Structure 1
Amino acid sequence: MAGLIDVRALIERVGPTLLRTVRLPDTTGCVGDVVIAEPDVPASVAEGDLVLGLAVTDSAQAVSLARECGRQAAAAVLLKPPLSTDDEVLATAEDHRLAVVEVSRGTAWAQLVWLIRAALAGSGVEDVEDRDPTRMGSAGLGDLFRLADAVAEVVDAPVTIEDAHSQVLAYSARQDLTDPARVSTIMGRKQPDDVLAKFRAHGTFRKLTKGGSAIFVPAQQDGTLPRLIMPIRMGGELLGSMWAVVTGEVSEERATAFADTAPLVALQLLRWRALADAERQRSAGLVRLLLEGGEGWRAAANELALPSTTHRVIAIDVRSAGNSAEGRRLAMWEWITRGIGPRPLVAEIGGVLYIVVPDRTGTGGWPALREALEGHGVQPHPLIAAGTAAGVAELAQSRTQADEVLGLLHTGRVHDRIAVYEELWHLLVLNRIAGASADAGVGALGPVPALREHDRAQGTEYLATLHAWLRHPGDPRTASAELRVHPNTFRYRMKRLTRIAPVDLDDPDVRSALLVQLLAERWAHHG
């Protein structure tokens, strides 16, 4: 990092709340970088460095660090009181024309690294880096990446910042110390299930959920390196966690500095969540325009950068899964936006979640989403319905189809985890016939009303018997098996019902009319 600012200007830019000049030579060179140096590692300090005495615990170490900083022509040494005003430290600094800066006692070292680096870069802490454009932009994750870098310097280890669902939000540039678990976590943007299982077995997540202090997890037999983990909380709520891959037990000073960063990370996570919520609501409003099919659909599609390929609309209804539907709906929304491809398009309409997903193979496509939804372990299962593939201009039609299939799921006649429009065409035909027949009043015609009344008054099952006979013409054994009665009992019932309501069952038109009536009757009762 090229230094373009001297110590005096840097202190003014970071602010007197955090830094105070204790000793400043008449002239100081430009600051080259900010480093955290161990007192006994001379090579860690270079000319122009701003040296943070994080690991300095007593006067002797502070004097040694000041001496080494002076020899290497460092720009300044930063210490917390009382070491910042120690007479021997100041005398040594004067001998070597070294600036001494006091760090406010309550300042987190990682916060200081973060702010100083921003000042050296000539930018504010709100600026966004471009290390990972797919995770930046409106979600405001640039500050989290920069903060992860600062925490990594403090703890002297690679760091990830994760949300409460083990989704990786940011990671430090330094990832030199690693293992397969960390590699797969970074690559997949979340901790894989097998890695999560290892830490759960160790009780790590139980401690994260209940505790508020740093957790050390020793190395495991499979080669997984030790971890230092810090829960991130605000107002009692677990917002996420920081994970550092370490070589072994961490010094008390560095572990404390790691833990001290938690409030700062919590503020950034709250800021990120607020920005993400705003972005989600903006996107949801545009998706609603697409699905409602009004005049604004074209502008919405352009703003969402929706490709002109075919998509499906998926409807997810958690209202049938018991109480607290709002919480489960939000959890499902977050799960979808975390794990299903780039920029999933989700909106809520009338208590139902709708997802617009490309009808293609690969990450983020309909087959991948279907597989993920089928494997989603939420209990009780939500109702999930898929419309057919459609162009962008016909997404409202795909949504209508998803709604129709969702209505079919509500009847209880479909037992699959996911119902797809074109796969259930036969049931949709019957459902439409039932609805049209009920509207036309066909159930009041012919012998059906008499048989219905007899069943109601006498507890008989003549309508069910007639329906089985029509479904299996000329096959009384199969028909009786469907009703779970003896074939002779079935034959007797058929003779009786034709006496109660005389009907010509040899006429094919009569049989067709009766079947339509009985289908409408059964589907109407099921709905």
Structure 2
Amino acid sequence: MTKKTDPFKYSLDRLEDVADQISDVLNCPITIEDTHHRLLAYSTHNDFTDPARTSTIISRRVPEKVINRLWKDGIIPTLLKTDEPLRVPQIAEVGLSSRVAISIWKDQEVLGFIWAIESEQPFSDEDMDLLKMAAHAVKNKLLNLQIRKTKTEERNQELFWKMLTGHIHEKDEILDLFLRLGIRCPDTYAIIIFRLRDELTEETEKKLSYLLETTQQVQVLLTTVDFHEFIILVSPKTEHPLQDIKQFTNSMLQQLSDRYHIHHVQAAIGGIYDHITHIQPSYKEALAVLKTKERFPVETERLNSFSELGIYQYLDVLAEKRKGSSYSSYSLSKLEDYDIRHHSNLVETLERFIDCDSNANIAAKQLNIHINTLNYRLKRITDIAEIDLKNMNEKMTIYLDMKLKNVHL
């Protein structure tokens, strides 16, 4: 059996020329992408294309809806496990015609992908072998790109950390830094922290980076890592910054769970600012969100942003003010004494009732009691604590007193 001739054994300098060479050999349109589905090169002389390829070339990255569909259909997970060519059937809903894809590997790591559209007829076994040769030929070029990218990311992370810690904080310093990094200074931005249970491994960091690189919901400007926290600077894309950033954050949490089975991740969004010198305050506010979620996990379960914390923003200030004082809440003390003596839970009932915006029906469901039972307890609370639950000032005062019990400076 004669050994097949490798048409790619003579290396070309430019990746674009390699894409054209692969296209000539296989007689089909070719795109070469990195692991984050950013376009690195594409063949230029074939008339046939499809909407997905056109969008990729225009935006220099694969559309997010295409990536999501390829994950859902198991295409990308398979490409991340094998070095064999993979047939991808037509997916008309996202503008994808039938094609063949192959991963480009170096040892146990995927460096990128080659996508070949089957423009006239399905690939033969010989075509599949040629595509494998092409992947081998592209490997070293992508490896060199990856090395340069890693050095750039390490430098960016170091400079970003200096901004987060306040070592770089003057406006002119920050503007000059963004200019040197080749990043557009954002008009509006926020810091987001994703905190995992354990220290971030290199593999988990790669997965997080992949999600950030492929999202098109916000602009991800800078990232860095601190033990089990992944910290990012993002800029919204519409005139609804909080909505954009919250949707992006929730999408990240969902994809970490669905794609990678990474659960129990805490997310925190700092303040949203339009002045570039507030990067450190936004970071501190994101940390404050995480701290609050630790103290009040039930009440803040669905809250991720500093702007949504309400009274929880001010509990530390109030606790500091009362520190060392002899203040004692008369009404709360009365309820606590009653609960101890009668083995009841009037304090919990009152706290849950106010948590539910004084909605008796919702509070009763959360407490798993009949609404008549709740109404009876509320009457007892009114009598014992000597408070008027229809008086907002009295109600909020005892509510703050209950919350401050969980604040330890």
Instruction: Give the TM-score range, shorter chain.
Output: 0.7 to 0.9
Secondary structure class of the residue paired with 1:371: helix
Give the CA deviation at 1:148: 2.0
Give the CA deviation at 1:277: 1.7
**C-alpha root-mean-square deviation of aligned residues, in Å?**
4.5
Q: State the match for 1:14 in structure 2.
A: none
CA distance in 1, matches of 2:342, 2:105: 66
**In the alignment, which of 289, 302, 306 is matched to residue 416 of structure 1?**
302
Higher relative contact order (CA 8 A, sep 6+): 2
Give the CA deviation at 1:319: 1.6
Give the CA deviation at 1:218: 6.2
Q: State the match for 1:524 in structure 2.
A: 407
Q: State the match for 2:85 in structure 1.
A: 214
Secondary structure class of the residue paired with 1:178: coil
**In the alignment, which of 466, 491, 496 is matched to residue 379 of structure 2?**
491
The amino acid across from 1:215 in the alignment is L
CA contact (8 A) 1:471 1:479 kept: no
Which whole-Å deviations, capped at 9, do the CAs of 1:50-70 have from their partners, x for residues lacking one?
xxxxxxx9xxxxxxxxxxxxx
**In the alignment, which of 161, 170, 173 is matched to residue 44 of structure 2?**
173
CA contact (8 A) 1:208 1:231 kept: yes
Q: State the match for 2:260 in structure 1.
A: none
**In the alignment, which of 151, 154, 157 is matched to residue 281 of structure 1?**
154
Give the CA deviation at 1:444: 5.6
CA contact (8 A) 2:219 2:235 kept: no
CA distance in 2, matches of 1:309, 1:220: 36
CA distance in 1, matches of 2:274, 2:42: 39
**In the alignment, which of 341, 347, 352 is matched to residue 229 of structure 2?**
352
CA contact (8 A) 2:36 2:214 kept: no
- Aligned-pair identity (%): 18
What TM-score comes out, normalization by structure 1 length? 0.59
Note if 1:231 corresponds to 2:103: yes
Which whole-Å deviations, capped at 9, do the CAs of 1:98-138 have from their partners, x for residues lacking one?
xxxxxxx89842242x43xxxxxxxxx3xxxxxxxxxxxxx
The amino acid across from 1:352 in the alignment is E
**In the alignment, which of 159, 168, 177 is matched to residue 303 of structure 1?**
177
CA distance in 1, matches of 2:111, 2:401: 57
Distance 1:368 1:324, change over 3 A: same
CA contact (8 A) 1:311 1:359 kept: yes
Give the CA deviation at 1:276: 1.4
Note if 1:240 corresponds to 2:116: no
**In the alignment, which of 193, 207, 222 is matched to residue 316 of structure 1?**
193
CA contact (8 A) 2:192 2:234 kept: no
Q: State the match for 1:148 in structure 2.
A: 19
- Give structure 2 stretches of 5+ with no counterpart: 258-262
- Give structure 1 stretches of 5+ with no counterpart: 1-56, 58-81, 83-104, 116-124, 126-142
Note if 1:262 corresponds to 2:135: yes
Note if 1:374 corresponds to 2:250: yes
Give the CA deviation at 1:468: 7.8
CA contact (8 A) 2:221 2:232 kept: yes
Q: State the match for 1:160 in structure 2.
A: 31
Secondary structure class of the residue paired with 2:101: strand
Q: State the match for 2:53 in structure 1.
A: 182
CA contact (8 A) 1:387 1:398 kept: yes
Note if 1:339 corresponds to 2:223: no
Distance 1:234 1:107, change over 3 A: farther
What TM-score comes out, normalization by structure 2 length? 0.73
CA contact (8 A) 2:219 2:236 kept: no
Secondary structure class of the residue paired with 2:309: helix
Aligned length: 384
CA distance in 2, matches of 1:249, 1:470: 65
Distance 1:469 1:393, change over 3 A: closer
CA distance in 1, matches of 2:407, 2:208: 31
Larger radius of gyration: 1
